Structure formats: structure tokens, C-alpha cells
Amino acid sequence: METTQERPARLRIGVIGAGRVGSVLGQALGRAGHKVVAASAVSERSRTYAAERLPTARILEPAQVVEASDLVLLTVPDDELAQVATGLATTGVDMRGTLIAHAGGAHGYGILAPATVVGALPMALHPVMTFTGRDEDIERLANCSFGVTAPEQLRPIAEALVVEMGAEPVWITEDKRTLYHAALAGGANHLVTLVADSAALLSTAGVPDPGRMLAPLLGAALDNSLRLGIHGLSGPVMRGDSGTVAGHIEQLRENAPESVAGYIELARLTADHAINAGLLKPEDAERLLDVLRR
């Protein structure tokens, strides 16, 4: 097998967990010239994904997938990775020299230790993208980054596989993997919650099409934050408008009490960042923080 960052040898690909993510990664590697030979798929939906996206794959039990493959994509939920790796290792299937790549964000390759002990070659290839199960997933993959973690001798292979899928490999060290994933989940998942909450509040305020109103504002805010960081901030917290913030909290208590705690904590965090960046004057910050404490 190649150990440079040139194209890896053509590999027989197996997918354990042919759901939204596994089927797309397998499809992308198939387009790159590898052959998807086997997949495990328990649910009816996974079997449908496998049939549509991995037509050359035989549906097999997980141990049989390993036997048939040079590279196994272990695309199961993060909390199941250790259990599945242990299960595979105890089946007695020969894993020596087989590449095992999981796609979870929160773990590096250490989670695959049970398989590594019996000779597997571990790596973590996490696509920084959401997957909906729709056809556009494969196209979005080509525009995203992958968080890559592997033993140093496997790094060239891991990065080359990501490049072959049309994406950008970004090296994450094993000890920073959970922090990396917390950053991504906090940004992407909480963004959805914030937008949904804003839209619901606008509906309560009588706005007939909240999405239409929010789209230009949130698009500009996201662009500003990605380009400028905290210096892209605007709004009452940055200005120290404590009266406005107090009014927000009062109205939220009356109309959406479940949103109050989140608003206050995010306002505090925003104020902290603004103070550290020199955007919020100390005297204004004191009045604002007093309102948030009360």
C-alpha cells in the first residue's frame, strides 16, 4: 500500500453502518476509483441508501464486511464506536493490515484500540458537514473539510483519501479531538436552535414570514463573524444598552419563558468577548452585567 500522499492504491471498500454518512463516504470513494464491495445495513432506510448509493456492495454481516475489504468505514454513532470495534476484534476475523476509519467527530483513533490490538490500521476521518439523506449530500462533501486524526505513519494515507473525496483534510491531534468536536457542535447545532427560537419569537410578534426577515440579517452576521471574528459584532450588548437588554428579558419572560436563561447566558458570553476585544466600555459593561445578574 502507498505511504505517500499520492493516490492510494485502489482499495476494496466496506461500510459498516450504511446510513446517511456511510453511504455518502462510500459513494465518494467509489467515484474516486475505489470499489465498494460490501456493506452492513440493518434498518430499511440504510438498505435503501446502500442500494441507491453503493450498488456494487453486497449486504453482509459486519465481520464479513471486514473480511472482504481493504478499508472499512465504521460509520456508526459515536457512542457505539468502542462497542463495535470490540465486537469486531472478538469475532476472530483477520484484521491485520486492514484500514479502519470511523467518521465520528468526538473521538480520534484511540477509540478503535480493540481493533488496533489485533492488527487493524486505525484512523478518524470526520466530515465537517451535516447530512440530510438527500442527493445533495454527495455534492456538499466536495466543499467541506475533514478532521483527520491517525497514527503518524498513516497520516499520508488518511489525508490522501480525503483529498480523493474532493475535500480538504485538516489535521487534529488525538488529545484535541473532543475540543474540536465541541467547537463544531456548539457552532452548528446551537445555531439551528438560535435561528429556530428567533423565528418562533418573530411569529409570536406577528411577523408572517420570519425566515424571509431573518435571512439577510443572519447571512450578514454569519459572514461578518467568519471574516472578522468578535469584531463583526453589533447590537445592544456591544453598545452597552442595558435598558434595551432589560426590556428584552422582560418580554421574553412574558412570552417565551423557556428562552430567558439562554438569552441571559449568551448575552453574558457576548459581553465577555466584547470586553476582552475592547468593544464594550467598562462603565457600560458594569450596567449591562448588573441587568444580567438581576
- Strands laid side by side in the 58-59 sheet: 58-59, 35-40, 12-16, 71-74, 99-102, 121-127, 145-149, 168-171
* pLDDT at res. 132: 87
Q: What is the pLDDT of residue 6?
A: 54
Q: What is the pLDDT along the chain (294 residues), one digit of tens a residue?
A: 444 445 567 999 999 999 999 999 999 999 999 999 999 998 999 999 999 999 999 999 999 999 999 999 999 999 999 999 999 999 999 999 999 999 999 999 999 999 999 999 999 999 999 898 888 999 999 889 999 999 999 999 999 999 999 999 999 999 999 999 999 999 999 999 999 999 999 999 999 999 999 999 999 999 999 999 999 999 999 999 999 999 999 999 999 999 999 999 999 999 999 999 999 988 889 999 999 998
| Beta-bridge mates of residue 36 | 13
Q: What is the structure's pLDDT at 66?
A: 97
Residue 1 burial (CB count, 10 A): 12
Q: What is the pTM of this model?
A: 0.87
pLDDT given at position 283: 87
Question: What pLDDT is recorded for position 2?
Answer: 41
